[in-house]
Structure 1
Amino acid sequence: MPAITEPKLISGNANLSLAKSIARRMSMHRGMQVGLVDARVERFNDQEIFVEVYENVRGEDMYVIQPTSNPANDNLMELLIMTDALRRSSAARITAVIPYFGYARQDRRAKARTPISAKLVANLITQAGVDRVLTLDLHAAQIQGFFDIPVDNLYASPIFALDIEHHFKGQLQDVMIVSPDVGGVARARELAKRINAPLSIVDKRREKAGEVAGMTVIGDVKGRKCIIVDDICDTAGTLCKAAETLMEAGATEVHSYITHGVLSGPAVERVQNSVMKSLVITDSIEPTEKVKEARNIRIVPTAPMFAQAILNIWNGTSVSSLFETETLVPIYEGMYQRD
């Protein structure tokens, strides 16, 4: 049954530019102005977070746009405190729109006496009063099961498929999709199927945490334009090493498509100095000035997809329709044209 109230958006400080882009896209779809709810999310001198919502939200369908990216703890607390403010202001439903779900890499106990932090964060979000979560490319699909509320996990692969078809037009027969490790094979295979390309794997061995001892390419990449696919690029060490290994194995070009550009520490410099021709990321994490200025880093927008997903949730229609590349073609009108 369609909702009577309009969807209302509110944003923390983590990625305000993405929130504004989502609002603009929703305005286009709705044919009426959709803005961000007027609020302040500030810090006291001791860095305590304070939230004040200036508009009436009683009985409203609220969407809190807040990735829990660096600084992860501050942004997570902003999300929790905004949710509490909305819940205590009698909002009818609160959906947390988390383009990048921090702590997702801590989804299991890899060794004794370690936490499962992703489950703890899921509990915090649920207990704060969130009714539903909308996110993008969770590091591990099973994290959806950590929540006792509905979770919609969108995928970047349909957008990446459109982008690859556009930028490699007439060259798709030379393209090979590469998974940078065995654990990412399912994600890489999904994209390879969409563009009908073969799949290769870079197998890495570690002698100790954070250090890659060696890499082996599984598959023939000679004469191929290789596209590395992954969900997170943090320090970019493994990614740049994988690109070198592929070039040594005979690849003509190496490009990378990574959903979440964490790009911490020396990552941007490593990418700029690497053999990679391009690194394509989404704006799930607000890019720094260094990222924007990097000659071989390109950013594809997620606002059109998130705007449509929010409208689908509000209308009570299918979100999974956005998993298909064909559904995204009209949403990304003007950016990508298909024959």
Structure 2
Amino acid sequence: MATLLEPKLITGSSNKPLANAITRRMALHRGKPVDLVDARVERFNDQEIFVEVYENVRGEDMFIIQSTSNPANDNLMELLIMSDALRRSSASRITAVIPYFGYARQDRRAKARTPISAKLVANMMVEAGIERVLTMDLHAAQIQGFFDIPVDNLYASPIFALDIKTQFEGAMDDIMVISPDVGGVARARELAKRIGAPLSIVDKRREKHGEVAEMTVIGNVEGKKCIIVDDICDTAGTLCKAAEVLMEHGATEVHSYITHGVLSGPAVERISKSVMKSLCITDSIEATQPVRDTPNIRIIPTAPLFAQAILNIANGTSVSSLFDTETLEASYEGLFNK
């Protein structure tokens, strides 16, 4: 196997705090400073995006850290243009590290005359010169098949399991994991298995898009500390309604663990007024100030996971090893506090 040079990291403007956290974590692993490649991303008066890389990247193994979150179109174009700049600068390999993969909810044709935008985005990334994708908790696992290049899809459930065992130490027998819909059962089951908890489902029926008409709890949640697990929280309407229904069915507490905190529109206000005791999200999307200021929202770091995944990819070693709880415990030692 050919030996790759040390990975070099570059970031767009979507989540610079996470990119800096990843470099700090990699420096800890390697025992020497790791800096982001010096570059600028600017917009002309007509909002065209321009990228200039100030360092020599010829023959380098490049990793672009860029979530395609709000504003999704701007951040996506930054990623594509940055990849094109690196390709034309003779980088040996370009990996897109996309903690939150935008357009993932448009993964199929739900009705006639609609696009499959996730596939279109995949095609654009490959055309721009991206040769590998590293992401977390894709909304639909089949999106990996939209690419003709390797895709490593990391999971937040091992991190959530570590946090839950810390936060609910001594009360694990009372925990019940909840899937907020039938489609999320596999994700919820994975977390339930990791922490040894039973599983329940909140089945929802919609009258029209964005409005939930009815919710039914499948399973007995009476006397349980319920943990709702999902990949995306957008406006938080479904999440807060599910928490209310669970409390009405006898749950003692409701907590939520969501990978990607989109938290648009009235989400923060809804969560702050909700019966839900806490919402835990990752930093895959940079948190706004209102999110950081909300007392019942906690943010769990993903930098240790992404840093190790980048190093594993660069060294040609297993990424799937990061799915093991034992592997992550060392990386997250001391990061979870009650």
TM-score (norm 1): 0.98
Taking the aligned partners of 1:100 and 1:80, their CA distance within structure 2 comes to 15
Matching residue of 2:43:
43
Matching residue of 2:276:
276
User: What secondary structure does 2:272 align onto?
Assistant: helix
RMSD: 0.8
Alpha carbons 2:4, 2:314 under 8 Å: kept: no
Runs of 4+ in structure 1 off by over 2 angstroms are: 1-4
Matching residue of 1:216:
216
User: What secondary structure does 1:205 align onto?
Assistant: strand
Question: Post-superposition shift, 1:2?
Answer: 6.0
Taking the aligned partners of 1:335 and 1:60, their CA distance within structure 2 comes to 32
Question: Post-superposition shift, 1:206?
Answer: 0.6
Matching residue of 1:106:
106
Question: Post-superposition shift, 1:334?
Answer: 1.3
User: What secondary structure does 1:214 align onto?
Assistant: strand
- Amino acid across the alignment from 2:159: I
User: What secondary structure does 1:36 align onto?
Assistant: coil
Residue-by-residue CA offset, 1:156-215 (whole Å, 9 max, x unaligned): 000000000000000000000000000000000000000000000001011111110010
Matching residue of 1:58:
58
Residue-by-residue CA offset, 1:258-315 (whole Å, 9 max, x unaligned): 0000000000000000000000000000000000000100000000000000000000
User: What secondary structure does 1:184 align onto?
Assistant: helix
Question: Post-superposition shift, 1:104?
Answer: 0.2
Question: Post-superposition shift, 1:244?
Answer: 0.1
Taking the aligned partners of 1:74 and 1:336, their CA distance within structure 2 comes to 34
Query: When the two structures are aligned, how many residues end up with a matched partner?
Result: 337
Question: Post-superposition shift, 1:335?
Answer: 2.0
Matching residue of 1:234:
234
Alpha carbons 1:329, 1:336 under 8 Å: kept: no
Taking the aligned partners of 1:29 and 1:9, their CA distance within structure 2 comes to 15
Alpha carbons 1:2, 1:316 under 8 Å: kept: no
Taking the aligned partners of 1:125 and 1:39, their CA distance within structure 2 comes to 20
Distance 1:212 1:4, change over 3 A: closer
Matching residue of 2:254:
254
TM-score (norm 2): 0.99
Residue-by-residue CA offset, 1:206-233 (whole Å, 9 max, x unaligned): 1111110010100000000000000000
Matching residue of 1:20:
20
Taking the aligned partners of 2:235 and 2:4, their CA distance within structure 1 comes to 46
Residues 1:123 and 2:137 are matched in the alignment? no
Distance 1:79 1:21, change over 3 A: same
